[in-house]
């Protein structure tokens, strides 16, 4: 390290201060980036005011499809149950679409969640006899919000 003279002390301290600020800024930017990743990928589950597991279990029982989250078949009851859960989570949590699909619906992608939400609205609009009464009972039982998908 170079010899420090009294006349250069102020300049030296300024350089050290700038380096520390630069490191602190880099650290804070990195911390902010990591926190956003944690939030976006659902590693911290503080964005739900509902008990997702209870809602999911109730939906499976209501549609007579207890394995709807993991079973990949396309029979009507399982598909309706997946649509109901995707819509309930989208309207009542701050989970990302990707997180809803990957964590609760067996690896579905974000576009599938959007499709489920839209088709839920279509089923409600047409008053589908198999879907609408069950979905309304889920909304009432758990005091959930529902809003129609807007493209």
Question: Does residue 28 sit in the same domain as residue 59?
Answer: no
Write the pLDDT tens digit of every residue in 70-124.
998 999 999 999 999 999 999 998 888 998 998 899 889 999 999 999 999 999 9
Domain interval for residue 59: 52-141
pLDDT for the residue numbered 45: 47
Residue 147 located in a structural domain: no
Write the pLDDT tens digit of every residue in 44-69.
444 567 888 899 999 999 999 999 99
Question: Does residue 100 sit in the same domain as residue 125?
Answer: yes
Pair 109, 115: CB distance under 8 Å: no
What is the number of domains present in the chain? 2
Residue 109 located in a structural domain: yes
CATH number for the domain that contains residue 99: 1.10.1750.10
Residue closest to 72 by CA, chosen among 110, 42, 43, 112: 112
pTM, two decimal places: 0.69
């Amino acid at each position: 390290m170079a010899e420090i003279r009294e006349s250069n002390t102020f300049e030296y301290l300024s350089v050290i201060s700038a380096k520390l600020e630069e490191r602190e800024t880099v650290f804070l930017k990195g911390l902010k980036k990591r926190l956003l990743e944690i939030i976006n990928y659902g590693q911290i589950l503080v964005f739900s005011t509902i008990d997702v597991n209870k809602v999911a279990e109730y939906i499976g029982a209501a549609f007579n499809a207890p394995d709807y989250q993991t079973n990949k078949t396309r029979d009507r009851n399982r598909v309706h149950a997946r649509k109901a859960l995707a819509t309930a989570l989208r309207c009542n949590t701050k989970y990302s679409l990707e997180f809803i699909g990957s964590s609760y619906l067996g690896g579905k992608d974000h576009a599938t969640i959007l499709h489920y939400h839209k088709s839920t609205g279509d089923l409600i609009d047409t008053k589908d006899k198999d879907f609408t009464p069950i979905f309304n009972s889920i909304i009432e039982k758990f005091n959930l919000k529902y809003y129609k998908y807007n493209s």
